Amino acid sequence: MNFETESFRLKVGLAEMLKGGVIMDVVNAEQAVIAEKAGAAAVMALERVPADIRKEGGVARMSQIKIIRDIMSAVSIPVMAKVRIGHFTEARILEVLGVDYIDESEVLTPADEEHHVDKHDFKVPFVCGARNLGEALRRIAEGAAMIRTKGEAGSGNIVEAVRHIRTIVKEMKQLTVLGKEELVHEAKNLQAPLELVQYVAQHGKLPVPNFSAGGIATPADAALVMQLGAEAVFVGSGIFKSSDPEARAKAIVKAATYYRDPVKLLEASEELGEAMPGLEISKLPEGELLQTRGW
């Protein structure tokens, strides 16, 4: 796979610009303005935050176009939006609309249980979720220009995002010490293209930026996943489901910048109210897990 095409370099280029930043879920223009004022590097437009999708159930689809348009005209930072896994027509609509990034997301109800979108075929860049290295590399092979952990969206529980980033980082480290013939075997185990496995073995990292999402609710959560190797964070329900969205948004932005500085993290964590309510993952029925969508 060629990472040097102009189109792919531009897609990855925008992801590079988002590093060290916070991408915030917003459901309307007012929330988008609050996010931008708090220092969000981008916003993700969606109809309902994951916590509400989880609570209300039903089929979760791409947002109403009017909401996305309102958000795009309300802020000057990049605007992302979600499509259902495999729903390439929703993606075409968002591409024509001009959103800056598309998240092919397990948070929405999958449209295709076997195929993800062929993302090489689009000019607009895509981000996809992953729980492990094999999944990340399959998404990159399909053309994703940014990977994020899936975590468990809308749970307010960081444990799954930690599991996913630790797994991806560990699996990458393991590849760096293997011989050429062992990489062929690993490619089979990971169910990923050999050339991407070879890339990771050589560089010790993904060929695209590696962000974290799914369960981040506090400044400390953001700093934790960044110390574990995430290069930026997505915060879904964590901001607008808390008692103090504006202050919390600012605090998480600060934590993403000063993630290695405990004194700054203390400052960021002070004077915050209640975080969003959290869910224990082991108490969730398997059918309600969002992370198992996609493969």
Partner 1 sequence: MQPQVGVLALQGDFEAHARALARAGAKAREVRTKADLEAIDALIIPGGESTTMLKLLAAEDLLEPLRAFGQEKPIFGTCAGAILLASEVTHPRQDSLALMDLTIERNGYGRQIDSRIAHIDLQGRPAEAVFIRAPVIRRAGPQTNVLATYNGDPVLVEQGRHLAATFHPELTGDAEIHRYFLSKLESALD
- Tell me the chain's radius of gyration from C-alpha atoms: 18
Tell me how far CA of residue 262 lies from CA of 65, 124, 130, 250, 267, in angstroms: 42, 38, 29, 17, 9
> Residue 1: which of 261, 195, 276 has the closest Cα?
195
Which residue from 36, 106, 152, 160 is in contact with partner 1, where contact means CB under 8 A?
36
CB of 97 to partner 1, least distance (A): 10
Residues numbered 121 to 140 that lie near partner 1 (CB under 8 A) are 123-125
What backbone torsions phi and psi does residue 220 show, to the nearest 5 degrees? Answer: -65, -35
Residues in Cβ contact with 158 at an 8 Å cutoff, skipping those fewer than 6 apart: 151, 215, 216, 217, 221, 224, 225
CB of 85 to partner 1, least distance (A): 22
98 binds partner 1 (CB under 8 A): yes
DSSP code per residue over 206-237: -SS-EEB-SS--SHHHHHHHHHTT-SSEEESH
The site that binds partner 1 (CB under 8 A) totals a number of residues, namely 36
Which residue from 178, 258, 284, 295 is in contact with partner 1, where contact means CB under 8 A?
258
Which residue from 236, 250, 255, 265 is in contact with partner 1, where contact means CB under 8 A?
250
Which residue from 25, 67, 81, 101 is in contact with partner 1, where contact means CB under 8 A?
101
Candidates 37, 66, 82, 241; catalytic one: 82
Residues in Cβ contact with 76 at an 8 Å cutoff, skipping those fewer than 6 apart: 36
CB of 8 to partner 1, least distance (A): 11
Q: Is 276 helix (H, G, I), strand (E, B) or coil?
A: coil
State yes or no: is 11 an active-site residue: no
Q: Are 250 and 217 in contact (CB under 8 A)?
A: no
Q: Are 60 and 71 in contact (CB under 8 A)?
A: no
Residues numbered 46 to 85 that lie near partner 1 (CB under 8 A) are 76-78
Q: Closest CB to partner 1 among 41 and 140?
A: 41
Neighbours of 272 (CB within 10 A): 17
257 binds partner 1 (CB under 8 A): yes
Q: Closest CB to partner 1 among 41 and 183?
A: 41
CB of 77 to partner 1, least distance (A): 5
For residues 49 and 27, give the distance between their C-alpha atoms in angstroms, rounded to a whole number: 7
147 secondary structure, DSSP code: E
CB of 160 to partner 1, least distance (A): 26
19 binds partner 1 (CB under 8 A): yes
261 binds partner 1 (CB under 8 A): yes
Neighbours of 178 (CB within 10 A): 14
10 binds partner 1 (CB under 8 A): yes
Which residue from 42, 71, 162, 220 is in contact with partner 1, where contact means CB under 8 A?
42
Which residues are annotated as catalytic?
82
The footprint of partner 1 (CB under 8 A) covers 6, 9-10, 13-14, 16-21, 36-42, 76-78, 95, 98-101, 123-125, 250, 253-254, 256-258, 261
